Structures are given as structure tokens and as C-alpha cells.
């Protein structure tokens, strides 16, 4: 199975080398695609230098800070054009431990179409968060589950692996979310298409270097997007 690891970046120069080293230690056969939004700290240039020394590293340079949703959509199109069998989503900030990747790939081999790294099922946990962050994350997943009628326990997580066939079947250009609701929308669209989604427990580690990309605008988008998705599904527009 050919595997592509996709990691969108914005000001992750301090984390990128450690991230790539960690991924390659676990899945040395995988390619890594860095999608950089013209980071002021030189992340894109660093990725390009690393790519010249390692053919497994690929880089897409974008014109500015365009959002995580569009970064993943561009990367998914790139992966499909290059015929990868599976595509993984991972954050560069080291919150997604590569040690979980073999369990993800095993779940795909056993028949899952989409595998979600879950913090909210037995065996899953978070390290480094305070009570407020726990409340927002778990509350956001519960809120989304109730409105959309889904059994997935961790809808907002961004550590995922997709089979090529699932991405091919989705209308990627119709995806509307840019922030963290992108994770909710993509999973919901996959379930609506009848694909099998499996959650695998992970340990999520809060970033130690750099700043979180969460903002009030991203939070607001997620709150209203789940209702939009529900109404679109009810009118057969999803």
C-alpha cells in the first residue's frame, strides 16, 4: 500500500524536522507532502531544502494563509493524481504521534475506508490540556454528534487515514469548511456516502513549540457549519 502523509504548515519551522524524522522512523516507505501557506518563519524554504536531499519529501507552496481545509483539499487532489493507495492527515506540531500509524494501516487492511485517531474512546487520551480545552473539545464533538446523528466519538480530531477510493468518491471541491469543522464535514460526507469509518485510540499531545491556530472565527464556523451540513443532507444536497 503506497502511503502519503499530508501535513499543512504555517510557521512550523521548529517542529518540521522532528515531525519528519518521527514519521520516517515508523513508516519509512511513506512519502510526506508538506503544504505550506507561505510561512513567514521559513517553513516552506526549510521543507524545500529537506526535499532536495530526500525524494520521499514533497512540497506544495501556497500564496498565503489560506486555511487548513483548502490545504487538505489541494493535497488530496495531488495524492489522487499521483495514485497513492492511502492518505494520512497529520499535524506538524507533534500532537499526532506517528507510533499510531501502524494501527491505522491495520484498520484499513481489515476493511475500514476511513480511520480516525480518537481521543474519546477507551484507550484514547490527551496530554497537556487544561479543563477549558477539554471541555471545548469534548463538547464540540458531542454537539456535532447530536446534531448530525453520528456515533463517531471524536468528530473534531485531525489525525486520519483515508483509502483512495473514499477520497475519489467525495466531491472534494464541494467541501465548504476551512477551519476545524473541516474534520467534521469530511467525516460526515464519507459516512453519508456509505463508507466504513473506524476509530482507533490515540494519545494526543498538546503542542510544545509554537502557537495554536484555533481562533474565535474558526470556533464560530464549526458551531454553525454542523447545522448547515444537517440541512444540506436533509435536502439531498450533500
Q: How does pLDDT run across 74-124, given as a tens digit for each residue?
A: 999 999 999 999 999 999 999 999 999 999 999 999 999 999 999 999 999
Q: How does pLDDT run across 17-75, given as a tens digit for each residue?
A: 999 999 999 999 999 999 999 999 999 999 999 999 999 999 999 999 999 999 999 99
Check residue 212 and give its pLDDT.
54
Stated pTM of the model: 0.91
Q: Is the pLDDT of residue 195 over 70?
A: yes
Q: How far is CA 5 from the centre of its chain?
A: 10
Amino acid at each position: 500500500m503506497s502511503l502519503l502523509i499530508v501535513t499543512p504548515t504555517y510557521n512550523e519551522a521548529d517542529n518540521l524536522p522532528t515531525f519528519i524524522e518521527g514519521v520516517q522512523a515508523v513508516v519509512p516507505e511513506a512519502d510526506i507532502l508538506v503544504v505550506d501557506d507561505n510561512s513567514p518563519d521559513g517553513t516552506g524554504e526549510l521543507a524545500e531544502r529537506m526535499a532536495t536531499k530526500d525524494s520521499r519529501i514533497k512540497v506544495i507552496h501556497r500564496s498565503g494563509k489560506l486555511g487548513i481545509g483548502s490545504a487538505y483539499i489541494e493535497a488530496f487532489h495531488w495524492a489522487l493524481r499521483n495514485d497513492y493507495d492511502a492518505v494520512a492527515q497529520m499535524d506538524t506540531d507533534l500532537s499526532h504521534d506517528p507510533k499510531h500509524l501502524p494501527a491505522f494501516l491495520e484498520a484499513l487492511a481489515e476493511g475500514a475506508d476511513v480511520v480516525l485517531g480518537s481521543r474519546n474512546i477507551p484507550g484514547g487520551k490527551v496530554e497537556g490540556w487544561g479543563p477549558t480545552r477539554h471541555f471545548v473539545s469534548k463538547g464540540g464533538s458531542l454537539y456535532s454528534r447530536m446534531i448530525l446523528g453520528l456515533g463517531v466519538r471524536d468528530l473534531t480530531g485531525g489525525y486520519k487515514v483515508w483509502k483512495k477510493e473514499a477520497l475519489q468518491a467525495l466531491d472534494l471541491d464541494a467541501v465548504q469548511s476551512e477551519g476545524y469543522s473541516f474534520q467534521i464535514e469530511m467525516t460526515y460526507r464519507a459516512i453519508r456516502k456509505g463508507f466504513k469509518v473506524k476509530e482507533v485510540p490515540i494519545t494526543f499531545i498538546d503542542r510544545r513549540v509554537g502557537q495554536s491556530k484555533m481562533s474565535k472565527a474558526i470556533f464560530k464556523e464549526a458551531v454553525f457549519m454542523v447545522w448547515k451540513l444537517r440541512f444540506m443532507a436533509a435536502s439531498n444536497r450533500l
